[in-house]
């Protein structure tokens, strides 16, 4: 009983803090059911700190938003990753295309400081991923206009059209193969280091069909997870009851394959561009 009472007190304090920001943050099913629901709500499906930070930034702009991760990142046992890395040959560059991969790489740098990190350049998709590496002192390169793995492979092949380079691709288990396939076809060697997997998380048991929701989706696996919990998403989006903002070309491709209309796509793969896109769409919807 004491633990339950303490939990309710914590939720009340959290809710009061959310109200101060003029923003709806769903933190508990009981609180959510009794709170007033805005006409349009933004649902941030990105997991981890990045998703929480994005939610906070939207709230500070008086955009009703809450954090609802639909993908859980499960890292491989660190000892296995270290063992695998220790057996790999010298490489000419490291490829990082996701924030979870960047986090694991930073942990590897601390665990194995004598490996070839100092002289290795990390080729990244998106400034956010590159910044995580830069903060730890790593060298990065981000190519303008690159929006997915295929684009990154083309840019790298443009630097070394004759092949002969060796790259380490730090990735998730479900990463698409277009990037390494293109590099290998161009005569480069790509060593894969799988450091995490993802699994779907079900949505909270709410009447989503009666709400006006702006979904922020970040990956093909996130699209599949949402469709598993909300099979009517395509119909709801077609009827303009739900709006979908897609972050990244592979996410857009997954939505198109599922016949889910996409309301907007940020101009670049950054949270800043995403916030601008959300603000613009929310402003239009709010005006009716």
Domain spans in the chain, listed from the N-terminal domain onward: 41-70+209-287, 74-199
Cα-atom radius of gyration of the chain, to the nearest Å?
21
- The confidence band for 270, taking pLDDT boundaries of 50, 70 and 90, is confident
Rounded to an integer, the average pLDDT of 73-96 is 90
The lowest-confidence range among 23-37, 55-69, 190-204, 242-256 is: 23-37
Q: What is the sign, positive or negative, of the torsion defined by CA atoms of 113, 134, 274, 258?
A: negative
Rounded to an integer, the average pLDDT of 243-266 is 95
pLDDT at 110 over 60: yes
Rounded Cα distance between 288 and 242, Å, is 14
Rounded to an integer, the average pLDDT of 206-212 is 93
Instruction: Determine the topology of domain 41-70+209-287 in CATH.
Output: Rossmann fold (3.40.50)
- The confidence band for 168, taking pLDDT boundaries of 50, 70 and 90, is very high
Rounded Cα distance between 282 and 286, Å, is 6
- The confidence band for 137, taking pLDDT boundaries of 50, 70 and 90, is confident
Rounded Cα distance between 194 and 173, Å, is 6
Q: Please give the torsion angle defined by the CA atoms of residues 141, 120, 195 and 109, in that order, rounded to the nearest 10 degrees.
A: -120
* pLDDT value of position 112: 79
Q: Thinking of the domain 74-199, which architecture would CATH place it in? A: 3-Layer(aba) Sandwich (3.40)
* pLDDT value of position 19: 39
Q: Are both 41-70+209-287 and 74-199 of the same fold?
A: yes
């Amino acid at each position: 009983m004491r633990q339950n009472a303490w939990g309710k007190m914590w939720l009340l304090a959290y809710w009061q803090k959310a109200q101060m920001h003029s923003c709806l943050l769903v933190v508990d099913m009981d609180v959510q059911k009794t709170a007033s629901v805005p006409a349009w709500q933004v649902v941030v499906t990105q997991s981890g700190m990045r998703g929480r930070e994005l939610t906070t930034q939207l709230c500070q702009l008086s955009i009703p938003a809450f954090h609802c991760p639909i993908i859980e990142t499960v890292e491989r046992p660190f000892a296995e990753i270290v063992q695998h890395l220790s057996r790999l040959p010298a490489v000419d560059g490291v490829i990082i295309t996701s924030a979870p991969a960047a986090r694991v790489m930073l942990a590897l740098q601390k665990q194995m400081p004598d490996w070839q990190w100092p002289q290795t350049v990390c080729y990244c998709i998106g400034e956010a991923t590159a910044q995580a590496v830069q903060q730890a002192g790593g060298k990065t390169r981000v190519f303008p206009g690159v929006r997915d793995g295929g684009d990154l492979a083309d840019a790298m092949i443009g630097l070394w059209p004759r092949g002969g380079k060796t790259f380490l691709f730090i990735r998730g288990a479900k990463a698409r193969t277009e990037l390494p396939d293109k590099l290998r076809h161009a005569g480069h060697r790509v060593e894969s280091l799988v450091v995490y997997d993802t699994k779907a998380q079900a949505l909270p048991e709410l009447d989503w069909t009666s709400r006006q929701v702006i979904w922020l989706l970040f990956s093909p696996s996130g699209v599949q997870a949402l469709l598993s919990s909300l099979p009517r998403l395509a119909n709801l989006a077609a009827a303009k009851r739900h709006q979908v903002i897609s972050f990244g070309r592979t996410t857009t491709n997954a939505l198109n394959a599922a016949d889910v209309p996409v309301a907007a796509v940020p101009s670049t793969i950054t949270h800043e561009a995403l916030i601008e896109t959300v603000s613009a769409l929310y402003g239009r919807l709010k005006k009716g």
